[in-house]
Structures are given as structure tokens and as C-alpha cells.
Structure 1
Amino acid sequence: MNASLRRLSVAACALVLAGCTTSNAFQNIDNPELKISQSPIKIWWRFLTVGKEGTVPVDPVPVRSLDRATLDALDVNANHVVRLGHSSHLLKLHGKYWLIDPVFSQRASPVQWAGPKRFHPSPIALSEVPPIEGLILSHDHYDHLDRATIETLALKVNRYFVPTGVGARLQDMKVPAERIQEFGWWQSGTHAGVQLTATPSQHFSGRTLTDRNSTLWASWVIDSGEQRIFFSGDSGYFPGFQQIGERFPRIDLALMENGAYDKDWPTVHMTPEESIRAFQDLKAKTLYSVHNSTFDLAFHPWREPMDRLADLAVKQGIDLATPVIGEVLTIGKPRSNELWWSKLR
């Protein structure tokens, strides 16, 4: 594929991420601090004409390979979070396996011959993923909802938990309707001893140029035993983080978006400074950085989100988790945090 076609395909995917389509079935909550996004035409033009520097790593991104035996050996009386890359995570919650926003494909794109390509392989092959008790989705964008992944897992997942409207997407990907449960904001449900609550985020949805906001987007609160996990999904900074923190105190681990931000689309992704502010609104114990180090989705250097977040965390005394791809984090267990990217180009 020639350079012009590559640039055009990346621009098309980035526009879906940045937001530039038409209908308005679902809307964000009011935000008095809402910033102005650039027009779709100007975003297009920038992607087509401005060169990128440092947005893709030169050195290999380290990956800790996983296998089924390693996963099965994890303590069944604890809650574990495994970083698969970007916003994809495998959870083992008191012995049962869950997935969050799984993307195993090579590209976050509607096609696999073009679009943002992975920086690193998955730490575990999709064929090796154990049977999944529950799969949680934040929204329908390609870097969070991947057709090939879902079609492969369709009958391997006991139950899917998705924002309102996303169920139809899954049915189109061969998931039986009876396995899907849709949630509006603040709605809760319990499955296999885990309580799930869909909470607001400030984002948008859509997989084509004509279906913007036809499905809902969400963050999630996950209660397993005595421990509580928050997953931000994709979000700009908004007052909802404080509301979530008030309704759900004692969050042990907050998986916070930190990457793919830009001055031209400030309403849908957070800068590292905003991620810190949102984390403090939640009053959570540990900040776990997600949405970086796997796909080239913006103009900032690939290391920048983690560099800035790590510096802020040190200055403000925040317990930060930046796991290596494939690393297992056991909630409540002491760990030393590694700035694994710091010497990479």
C-alpha cells in the first residue's frame, strides 16, 4: 500500500476517534467546562497534511507472554487485572475470567489492510483465552469493539455487558441476543458474584460516517468481593467523575484513560493532567494508566502520556500503576511500579 493510501486510511480511523459525524440520539451530560473541538474538515486536513514525529516506537515494546497455566495458577481468592494493550484487559475475579474492551486484531480499523497497527503482539493468543464469564464494553469505536475478536469469542463468553444500543452491534457479530445485557448510565446488575454499574463518560459513539451517537458510551464500576474497580472507558474531563466518586466511594483501582488526546478534540479524551484531576475526583487508591502504548491514534509522541502522568504522580504523591503489557496486577498486593518505557525510543 502506498504512503498516500496509508495516510488516508489512518486519517479516516482517526476521524472516527475524534468525532465528526451527524446524528444525536445520545448526548453527554452538561459540562460547564466543556472545551471547543476543531471542525471535522480542519481535523481531516491536519491528518492529511501534517507529518507525525515519534508517534510510533522504534524499539520493541516489551511484552510478558502469558499462557493458560499461568492464568489458572493465579489465586482464586483474589482479583487480578492483566494488561493486554491499549484499553484491553483480562480480569480474573475470584476465579472467574472477564474481559474489558478486548481488541486482538492487528489494526484498530474497519479493515485489516489499513488503519492504526499494533505496536506489539498480544501477550496471549486469542485462541488461548480461557472461557470468559463476562465481557464488558465501554463503547463501539474500533479500538474498543473489534469485530474479529467478538466473532471469535461469540460463544466463548457467558454474558456481555454493554451500553444501550451496543447489543445490536454484537448480534451482528454472531453473539446470541440472550447473552447480551444493555445498561443505561447508573444502571446496575449482578452476575457470577460481580456487581456491574454503567456510569457516565464524556465521549461519543459511531462506526461509520452516518451513525454518530446512535449507541451509548459508558465508564464502569466493577465490584468483586470487597474490592472495587473503576474503568473510565474513553472520556474527556467532566463533572461526572466527581459524581461517580460520591456514589461509589472506596475505589481500589481506577483504570484511567491516558492517551490519544489532542488540542483539536479536547472534549473526548483527557490530557495526563486531566486524568490526574479525574482520578482525584474519584478519590481512588491507585491510578492505572490505559489507552496508550498500542496504537498510533493522535499526534503526540507515543511515550508522552506516560512520561507526563508519571511526573505528575510523583509530584502529587499518587500511587501509579503503569504495567508492562502482559503484567498481572493483583489488587491489594504490594508491587513496585516499573517505568518500562523510559529508555525506549
Structure 2
Amino acid sequence: MNLAKGCNPSLQEMQAFTKAPNFKWEKTHKKGYFTNLNPKMPHIKRASLWEVLRFYLFKPKNAKPKYPLPFIKTDFKSLYTKNPAVVWFGHSSLLINDEYFKILIDPVFSSYASPKAWINRAFESNVSWSSDDFESIDALVITHDHYDHLDYPTIMALKDKVKHFIVPLGVGSHLRFWGVPFTQITELYWWQSLNLTPSIKITSTPSQHSSGRGIQWDRTLWTSYVLDIKDKKIFLSGDGGYYTHFKQIGERFGSIDLAILENGQYNLAWQYSHSFTPQVFQTALDLKAKMIMPIHYGRFAAGSHAWNEPLKNLISLCDTHCLPISVPKIGEVYELNTPPKREIWWDF
């Protein structure tokens, strides 16, 4: 048995999901699955074997950086920030910190993002993080159950230090299979909220993507989130293609102080799963974002582009249209209410 694959929700659990508008239950086949809001793409089509092989065989030479990326080795055990702050670990792994309260987002501290160590290896790096870097974690948030966002070795290493897991509907089945107590898991559907403290609230918001760690796909939900921390709103995109839900989120929340947006790993073969850079910029406009911070790059190569191409293109768009963009180094603390990080570290 490959424990890393986790365990999809049971038939009984999936029957309970039928209350969710975008969960479809096939009574005759006794199975169910989540769908996207986009009627043209309710299910993300899987890339063909040829499309996948073509990507791996003909991806550009600079799909990975020539040298290890620069980093800052922050001491998280003693980290205190007066304002909400963000630390990026590469790809989509983040720490949101407020005073001493710590929220980990999609942590992947392994050197690969797949069920097998030889698939989807991380870029060469001079830095790594582990459970030893944290005294305790107040909340661990997952956006969906793909391997580059829900990492079995990382969860197993961290789970005894995590006070509360917040995940999309159905993803709790993986965590329970791995030994996380039921009482420490909250599963959210789109637009459901949870108060983490009197001054911190998290809301699950729609996304256009897919889920699955094996043969049975879309048995668990995928999501984005809005974090209300004191007087600030932080948007966490997770993975997802562009659609009208971003505008709906912007209208509901008024404005977003920092939009942390997926930007990278795009390919025409999976164009509805991930956003191209012009769509990322439009997402920020739809969200009424005051500042962008790009993620989903800098650790794994899963798109048919140079590793830093999406970043350079998004910076150019933001600068042209006078939208602030913060691009911290891996491990660097960016505190809201301070100027964006713009030291050029990616130009090689």
C-alpha cells in the first residue's frame, strides 16, 4: 500500500456532499464528484499521454534555474510581526504570521511533489525546511489534494505540532487516513468561514481546478481562501484557471490588500487548470487587489516555459499599470504595511 496516495472519502461521506451545489452524485454507479462553476469546463480534461511526454521531452533548457535560488533562513520559532506577514518557501508553500500566530499554507518540504521520489524533483537548493524549524503551528491550511500542495511526508512530520487543520470538503479523509485526529480537522465548502481567533477569520472561496491523487479524480473539493487578519484581507489563490468567480470574490470582500496568486506552470494542454500571466493580472483587477505577490514557481518545473518567465512578465504588467507587486526571496519575511520587496534576485 502506498500511504502517500491517501484515501478518498467513503461512499457514505460522498453522499453527504450532495448538499453542495457543485457535487454530482451518480446513483446508478454509486459515485460522486465535484465540478467547476464554468459550464464549458465542469471537469478539467486530463492531458493526453503524448501531451505530457511532449512537455517532459521538449521543455526549454531554462525550465530550471542555472544556480540554486537565493534565500533567507528565517528563525520561525522566534518570529514575531506586528502586522500580518508572509513568508514564501517556493512553489505554493507559505507561512502567514501575525504577532506569534502561525498559519502554514500548502507546505511541501519534501524534495519532490509526487507519489514517487524520482518524479517532479525540486530545483537544486541550498536551503531546506522541516518540522524542526517550528515550535508549533496554530493552523495548517490546504487548498486541494494534489501532490504539490498536500505532501504526505511533510504532513506526517508536522502533524503533532499542528493545532488545527483547515481543508476543502473531502480532503479531511486523507488526513484521517494518515492519523490526524478527527477533532483537529475542519472541512470547508465555498463561502463557509471559520474564526481562528477573535481577529483572524478564514473563508473558503471558489476556484477552477481539479483534485485527485490516483485513479479516482475530483472526489474532493479544491478552493481558494480569503484571510481576514485584523484590518487586512489576504487572498490565497491555490491553483486555478481564470473565470468569473474572481470578480465575485472581489465584489463580496470589497477589496484585497494582498493577492497571493498562482503565476507559473502554465501550458496550453492544461490551460483551464492554471492561469496564464495576463489572466493573473486580470485576476488581481477582478479582486480589486492593492498588491500582488506571485507564487507557484521557483521550486518545481511543470510548465512549458523558462522558470522565471512568468515572474518577469507579471512584473512588467504590474509596473506598466502601476499595480504594486512584492517579490520576496525564498524564506524572506514580507510584512504588510511596508513597501513591496523588489530586489532583483531572479534574473539568471
Task: Tell me the TM-score normalised to structure 1 length.
Answer: 0.87
> 3-state DSSP class of the match of 1:155?
helix
2:279 to 252, 260, 274: 274
Residue 297 of structure 2 is matched in structure 1 by 292
Residue 210 of structure 2 is matched in structure 1 by 204
CA distance in 2, matches of 1:31, 1:122: 43
Give the count of matched residue pairs.
Answer: 317
Residue 50 of structure 2 is matched in structure 1 by 42
CA distance in 2, matches of 1:337, 1:327: 12
Answering whether residue 319 of structure 2 is matched by residue 311 of structure 1, we say no
Are residues 35 and 318 of structure 1, via their aligned partners in 2, closer, same or farther at CA, if it must alter by over 3 Å?
farther
CA distance in 1, matches of 2:311, 2:57: 27
> 3-state DSSP class of the match of 1:135?
strand
Answering whether residue 62 of structure 2 is matched by residue 57 of structure 1, we say no
CA distance in 2, matches of 1:141, 1:187: 22
User: Partner letter of residue 156 of structure 1?
Assistant: K
CA distance in 2, matches of 1:295, 1:57: 10
Cα pair 2:224 2:236 within 8 Å, conserved:
yes
Task: Map 1:105-144 to 2 at 5 A.
Answer: 105-122=110-127, 124-144=129-149
2:197 to 192, 201, 212: 192
Q: CA deviation at 1:227?
A: 0.9
Answering whether residue 46 of structure 2 is matched by residue 67 of structure 1, we say no
Answering whether residue 167 of structure 2 is matched by residue 162 of structure 1, we say yes
Answering whether residue 243 of structure 2 is matched by residue 238 of structure 1, we say yes
Cα pair 2:47 2:270 within 8 Å, conserved:
no
Residue 262 of structure 2 is matched in structure 1 by 257
CA distance in 1, matches of 2:158, 2:46: 38
CA distance in 1, matches of 2:341, 2:166: 32
Cα pair 2:36 2:43 within 8 Å, conserved:
no
Q: CA deviation at 1:336?
A: 4.3
1:29 to 11, 32, 37: 37
Residue 81 of structure 1 is matched in structure 2 by 86
User: Partner letter of residue 278 of structure 2?
Assistant: E
User: Partner letter of residue 163 of structure 2?
Assistant: N
Task: Tell me the TM-score normalised to structure 2 length.
Answer: 0.86
> 3-state DSSP class of the match of 1:268?
coil
Q: CA deviation at 1:128?
A: 1.3
Cα pair 1:79 1:92 within 8 Å, conserved:
yes
Residue 248 of structure 1 is matched in structure 2 by 253
> Identity of counterpart residues, as a percentage?
37
Q: Cα RMSD (Å) of the superposition?
A: 2.1
Residue 107 of structure 2 is matched in structure 1 by 102
Q: CA deviation at 1:117?
A: 2.2
> 3-state DSSP class of the match of 2:147?
coil
Are residues 123 and 116 of structure 1, via their aligned partners in 2, closer, same or farther at CA, if it must alter by over 3 Å?
closer
Cα pair 1:31 1:238 within 8 Å, conserved:
no
Gaps of 5+ in 1: 1-22
Q: CA deviation at 1:191?
A: 1.4
User: Partner letter of residue 245 of structure 1?
Assistant: G
Cα pair 1:164 1:182 within 8 Å, conserved:
yes
CA distance in 1, matches of 2:40, 2:216: 26
Residue 16 of structure 1 is matched in structure 2 by none
Are residues 176 and 335 of structure 1, via their aligned partners in 2, closer, same or farther at CA, if it must alter by over 3 Å?
same
1:136-162 per-residue CA deviation (whole Å, 9 max, x = no partner) reads: 110001110000000111121110000
Residue 175 of structure 1 is matched in structure 2 by 180
Are residues 33 and 246 of structure 1, via their aligned partners in 2, closer, same or farther at CA, if it must alter by over 3 Å?
farther
CA distance in 1, matches of 2:40, 2:52: 27
